[in-house]
């Protein structure tokens, strides 16, 4: 066997050994008196060692690249990332003793950049968030490295039938619940990879479960879903870290999504603060986006006279956003006045009041 092939074998062993030492993430019930008879669970992806659901993606992308023969001993690994993916990939790169460069928008929180460095990675900042892809390609070319390209490969690098993907884990953990097959799975799109895995898995397992995608305000996914146009672009980045994209990523698979809603940033942030209070700890803003999606799915079930369960995600922890989403000065400088919205979300979640405002949505009638 040649030496690169031997190196690949050892690298796969190291990643599998890391997985063997790891535990699964918790599934936490969140009672919502405002949607009686409907049970919501939150899959706590913030409890991964590198702090987000991107742990699963990073492992899959490294295994995919290794088994494709795309990684070489000593050659840099490069990624375009708003932060969370890069943190998890830096972890795996260090495990394999490979240099890691993350190409991130300059607006990325300093906590995330510090985390990338903590795991031995290097952050390469670009001013224009839409340029992270081209810059990653250039760096890979010039360094003889490999660009992992999460936005293209997320959906295909994940083993959607099994191999402890997030969907399989959720269904295992629900086995002894009153409603073990959820009526809805709710997630928000960054790469779109998690939604692709959820949607494929419920078809493969022949469940009736529907998948709701809760998009961010400054993002093309919702409009692309409604119009079918995959060519839509924006020239600015999302306000919710981790989700919402300025272009329709290749890993976004609309065919397996049953319903979509577009959540204003202020409502996502208010829901995040409400969740932090309910859970007694901080979570990231996309978890708030997901909660709004879950409340809408729950209200849709109530209107139809259905009972059952729903599962959504806590995507990352709020510790990363201490100087932004959880900083009162930052929030007011951005023009946010969240308290009335937080109160409205509480009234909705706990007393069944409607959510404030009409959100653009499809598939929830």
Q: Which of 256, 272, 315, 345 touches ligand PLP by CB under 6 A? A: 315
254 contacts ligand PLP (rule: CB under 6 A): no
Alpha helices in the chain (DSSP H): 3-20, 54-67, 84-95, 110-118, 132-143, 150-157, 166-173, 193-204, 221-227, 265-279, 285-303, 328-333, 339-351
# chain residues binding ligand PLP, by CB under 6 A: 19
Stretch that binds ligand PLP, among 48-56, 72-80, 124-132, 202-210 (CB under 6 A): 48-56
Give min distance, CB of 218 to ligand PLP, in A: 15
* Bridge partner residues of 216 (DSSP): 263
192 lies in the binding site for ligand PLP (CB under 6 A): yes
Closer residue to ligand PLP (CB): 190 or 308 = 190
Q: How far is the CB of 281 from ligand PLP (least distance, A)?
A: 15
- Helix, strand, or coil (residue 273): helix
Binding segment (CB under 6 A) for ligand PLP, from list 173-181, 182-190, 262-270, 333-341: 182-190
Angle between helix 285-303 and 265-279 (nearest 10): 90
Q: Establish if 286 lies at the interface with ligand PLP (CB under 6 A).
A: yes
Asked if 284 is part of the footprint of ligand PLP (rule: CB under 6 A), the reply reads yes
- Taking the C-alpha atoms of residue 90 and residue 35, their distance in angstroms, rounded to an integer, is 41
Q: What is the distance between the alpha carbons of residues 357 and 360, in angstroms, rounded to a whole number?
A: 10
Restricted to residues 75-104, the positions that interact with ligand PLP (CB under 6 A) are 84
Q: Does 239 bind ligand PLP (CB under 6 A)?
A: no
DSSP per position, 137-185:
HHHHHHHT-EE--HHHHHHHHS-SSSSS-HHHHHHHHTTTSSS-S-SEE
Chain positions contacting ligand PLP, by CB under 6 A: 52-54, 84, 154, 188-195, 242-243, 284, 286, 315-316
């Amino acid at each position: 066997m040649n030496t690169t092939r031997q190196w690949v074998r050892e690298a796969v062993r190291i990643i599998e050994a890391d997985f063997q030492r790891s535990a699964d993430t918790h599934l936490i019930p969140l009672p919502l008196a405002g949607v009686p008879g409907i049970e919501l669970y939150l899959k706590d992806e913030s409890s991964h060692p590198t702090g987000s659901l991107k742990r699963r993606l990073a492992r899959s992308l490294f295994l995919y690249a290794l088994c494709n023969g795309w990684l070489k001993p000593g050659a840099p690994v490069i990624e375009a990332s708003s932060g969370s993916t890069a943190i998890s990939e830096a972890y795996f790169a260090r495990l394999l003793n490979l240099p890691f460069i993350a190409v991130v928008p300059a607006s990325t929180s300093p906590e995330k950049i510090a985390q990338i460095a903590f795991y031995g990675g290097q952050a390469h900042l670009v001013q224009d968030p839409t340029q992270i892809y081209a810059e990653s390609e250039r760096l890979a070319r010039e360094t003889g490295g490999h660009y992992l390209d999460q936005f293209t490969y997320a959906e295909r690098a994940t083993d959607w039938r099994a191999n402890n993907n997030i969907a399989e884990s959720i269904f295992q953990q629900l086995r002894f619940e009153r409603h073990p097959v959820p009526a809805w799975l709710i997630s928000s799109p960054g790469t779109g990879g998690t939604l692709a895995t959820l949607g494929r898995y419920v078809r493969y397992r022949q469940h009736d479960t529907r998948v709701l995608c809760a998009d961010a305000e400054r993002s093309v996914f919702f409009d692309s879903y409604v119009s079918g146009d995959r060519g839509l672009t924006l020239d600015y980045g999302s306000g919710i870290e981790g989700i919402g994209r300025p272009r329709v990523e290749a890993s976004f698979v609309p065919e397996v999504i049953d319903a979509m809603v577009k959540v204003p940033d202020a409502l996502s942030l208010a829901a995040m603060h409400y969740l932090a209070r309910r859970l007694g700890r901080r979570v990231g803003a996309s978890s708030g986006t997901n909660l709004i999606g879950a409340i809408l799915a729950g209200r849709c079930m109530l209107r139809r006279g259905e009972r059952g369960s729903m599962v959504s995600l806590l995507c990352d922890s709020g510790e990363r956003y201490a100087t932004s989403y959880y900083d009162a000065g930052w929030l007011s400088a951005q023009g946010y006045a969240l308290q009335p919205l937080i109160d409205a979300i509480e009234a909705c979640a706990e007393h069944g009041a409607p959510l404030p405002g009409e959100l653009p949505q499809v598939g929830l009638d």
